[in-house]
Amino acid sequence: MVNHKENRSAWRRALLSLALLVCPLVTGEDRAMSEYQVKAAFLYNFTKFVSWPAAAFATTNAPFVLGIAGTDPFGKSLDEVVRNEMVENHPILVKRLRAGDDLGSCHMLFISSSEKEWVESMLAQLRRRPILIVGDTAGFAARGVTVNLLLAQGSVKMEINHKAAEQAGLEISSKMLGLATIVESGSTPKAP
């Protein structure tokens, strides 16, 4: 039986976490968070605000694969953020991918800026697959990446290509959409 009070509380905590991530980066000697520590937390929090179709998983307890294509800017940050975490019944597995690796085995794929020359071919390979594709390079959302994380005025901001999410069969929470700039493929961003 679902406890709706606990469920609402979990959603509030997740929304607060996401809202805090949109705020400016914490600065100061002892509390400084790097850009990629914050972006690692964003990636984890996306798992709470995006729904994947059940068919995206081979089994009910198959791992949730979070892939990184190209140069890994996270270092240990991403591994630390997702350690012992689950997406529903799915343990999170971080994979660093190289040229030629199967990108389609991911549920979330972070495309590093080192791959900007190949982003269109990657997107073509993944078209209509239930994969949340995330980047952090100017123009990536307009090129078809689902979520783009950009540093602006000391804060990490989200751009979301909602049409790309729909084509992938992913459902993004209205709460997450409300915190983002909406971008269409081939267009300029529209502020929230």
Task: Please tell me the pTM assigned to this model.
Answer: 0.82
Q: What's the rounded mean pLDDT across residues 22-32? A: 44
Q: What is the mean pLDDT of residues 110-124?
A: 94
Query: Measured between alpha carbons, how far is 33 from 17 in angstroms, rounded to an integer?
Result: 15
List for the chain the helix, strand, coil content (%; round to 5). Answer: 40, 25, 40
CA distances from 152 to 123, 157, 158 (A): 25, 7, 10
Q: What is the pLDDT of residues 137-161, one digit of tens each?
A: 999 999 999 999 999 988 999 999 9
User: What is the number of other CB atoms lying within 10 angstroms of the CB of residue 114?
Assistant: 13
Find the farthest-apart pair of alpha carbons in the chain and give their distance in angstroms, rounded: 49
Which domains are assigned to the chain? 4-182 (3.40.50.2300)
- pLDDT (average), residues 175-181: 96
pLDDT classification of 1: cutoffs 50, 70, 90: very low
From CA 86, how far away is CA 95, in angstroms rounded? Answer: 15
Kindly state the tokens that stand for 40.
Answer: 């690692």
The 3-state DSSP class for residue 36 equals: helix
For 65-85, what is each residue's pLDDT tens digit? 999 999 999 999 999 999 999
- What percent of the chain is predicted at pLDDT more than 70? 79
